[in-house]
Structure 1
């Protein structure tokens, strides 16, 4: 607990401070940046980054009445409950910055007062400037997995993979700077990439999350629950594994790519015409246990074929086993094949042209309450898919590109789908 050495002097200075609007006006972007800096230094640990309540016992500042500044100042000055007293630390200007940040709900709503140039600028626009919709004005912040295989990976400068290239292209076409929050999924079995995506967006860690799989189940009522955050590069040490956030509804963009499964051969000598999985009969076939590709191999092959299938634990070792001659063919995700080839440029593995009809599209996820941002992103994505930019980005990332396919959202898979969709 901070010892109060000059509370009375601070309080007198606050009462005698000039009104916020009387100071030389900052640009909206600079003002918000300044406010956010003060908030993150003193308040974000308990009240959540960007004022998104982290789900602890702290008060949700988004609900603080906008007409009760005196109450706010008193609470900040003197402390309340477990909240420290900041009266001996904060400058008078910083009280006003915090109050404005709270009453504008982290810059997302009009405050009790606004400088005249801000009002004029807002009135002159029919469509919100994308910069005003972002966590950091002028910057598009994306959450990307540092261990995302061929889709995303961190480099010493920037990143790599289609998801990274999509985020960079979106920022470029929207005339924004790209910032990336690199995260790593937790290894625990109960961790869920979908729940982690919801959690990072709800916490305010990023504006967008590329690579969101368009499954019907991924768009269900996840937001009615709470979830833990994964590890990310700048995660505070004080934030333990038990820390959870209240999830919020999300929106997803139109898709920009499709993840599919195809047949991979050990070498070109094993290639044959494939129209369905059963056509692999006669080859030594491998399957990854517990994966969709493995289940389809065992369910859609002939009885003779499935009786001879060798099953292995899933993971990067699977294709290395094929490389070493343990089996000759397998149904795998194209992304796994691309990642293997990227790791092993002299690989002899060959990808067949056959694609299994079950797959899913990839989109960009963001909070539903940030609908205006989606209105900016969708046209950009559709343009990049239509003009071949997206395919070129995949080539740059050394990936096999498949364009999105209707239906955009994959429905819940049934046993009948697994047996009949060949």
Structure 2
């Protein structure tokens, strides 16, 4: 009987130790190093941004220390946020990627088996060369809504915008191949085409040109306007207050092979949202915070745009 009690006691002790070890394991989250006010990693300055403070709040709820893996996502026509996130997760650089746009297109199984890693903090020359076998992505519940918004230059700041049609007559600039490009080019069977100038993402400074008055308006993700305003508090461009009806929620994405983690994160997000903490963290970071909207995962964006 005594031997049996000792065995049971040891089993219970090992279970407690295993749980403690699991709890002490860092929660590793990948964040873009240059997306203020969502996330920013600057040499000699403390890490900052909405996604940074939210990640810390979630780690605290889970009783785990936070470890951020910073990476660099390039804004160009060849970049793929889906493949970058998948490669980081599949390589074990992190267990979650924050600020991920939740769309059906961004969550489908990748069409290729491997992908290169984006540049990340601590990457070696070999890391930049090799390819990573990809997994399948799984989303968390959303924590912020990220719509497209019309941003106005100094010469058009008084223009009232209630619909895309109100941009008629303005000098419009848009980045080639972007979602905003598709919306403006297809609006009302191409009614705005003659007023649109296409810029090259990653090469041309869209918001800088708008700020200088070279163009009158553009259509971009609300987060990019917040980012520009954070870096240029004296900017001459202004938000119109108009949000395009089709927008995406943002949340975390992990690997489908670890559903328990997604469940834990969803529980923490649900508690923080109910307490109003997520909205509070967004406002503290200078984000134009909008709560998630239905549907949680946006369907075929391009089809919806063409059908409008």
TM-score (norm: length of structure 2): 0.85
Instruction: Report Cα offsets for 1:125-144 as digits up to 9, x if no partner.
Output: 9xx959627xxx34211111
2:129 is equivalent to residue 242 of structure 1: yes
Q: What does residue 163 of structure 1 align with?
A: 51
> How much does 1:219 deviate?
1.7
> How much does 1:176 deviate?
2.0
Separation (CA, whole Å) in 1 of partners of 2:180 and 2:192: 15
CA 1:369/1:129 → structure 2, altered by over 3 Å: closer, same or farther? farther
Which structure has greater strand proportion? 2
CA 1:159/1:304 → structure 2, altered by over 3 Å: closer, same or farther? same
CA 1:118/1:196 → structure 2, altered by over 3 Å: closer, same or farther? farther
Is the contact between residue 117 and residue 127 of structure 2 (CA under 8 Å) also seen in structure 1? Answer: no
Q: What does residue 22 of structure 2 align with?
A: 132
Q: Is 217-226 or 339-348 further displaced after alignment?
A: 217-226
> How much does 1:191 deviate?
4.2
Separation (CA, whole Å) in 1 of partners of 2:75 and 2:195: 32
Match among 103, 114, 117 for residue 215 of structure 1: 103
TM-score (norm: length of structure 1): 0.64
Q: Is 371-380 or 146-155 further displaced after alignment?
A: 146-155
CA 1:305/1:247 → structure 2, altered by over 3 Å: closer, same or farther? closer
Which residues of structure 1 form unaligned runs of 5+? Answer: 1-114
**What pairs up with 1:169-248 in 2 under 5 angstroms?**
169-185=57-73, 190-222=78-110, 225-237=113-125, 239-248=126-135
2:171 is equivalent to residue 281 of structure 1: no
Secondary structure of the corresponding residue to residue 176 of structure 1: coil
What is the aligned residue count?
A: 300
Separation (CA, whole Å) in 2 of partners of 1:141 and 1:215: 23
Secondary structure of the corresponding residue to residue 358 of structure 1: coil
Q: What does residue 264 of structure 1 align with?
A: 151
Q: What does residue 120 of structure 1 align with?
A: 12
Instruction: Report Cα offsets for 1:207-259 as digits up to 9, x if no partner.
Output: 2211122111222122871222222222244x253312222223221000121
Separation (CA, whole Å) in 2 of partners of 1:304 and 1:195: 35
Greater C-alpha Rg: 1
CA 1:176/1:314 → structure 2, altered by over 3 Å: closer, same or farther? same
Q: What does residue 32 of structure 1 align with?
A: none
> How much does 1:390 deviate?
1.4
Q: Which has the higher contact order (CA 8 A, sep 6+)?
A: 2
Separation (CA, whole Å) in 1 of partners of 2:69 and 2:37: 18
RMSD, matched Cα: 2.9
Secondary structure of the corresponding residue to residue 221 of structure 1: coil
**What pairs up with 1:34-113 in 2 under 5 angstroms?**
none
Is the contact between residue 184 and residue 192 of structure 2 (CA under 8 Å) also seen in structure 1? Answer: no
Separation (CA, whole Å) in 2 of partners of 1:266 and 1:130: 55
CA 1:244/1:275 → structure 2, altered by over 3 Å: closer, same or farther? same
> How much does 1:355 deviate?
0.6
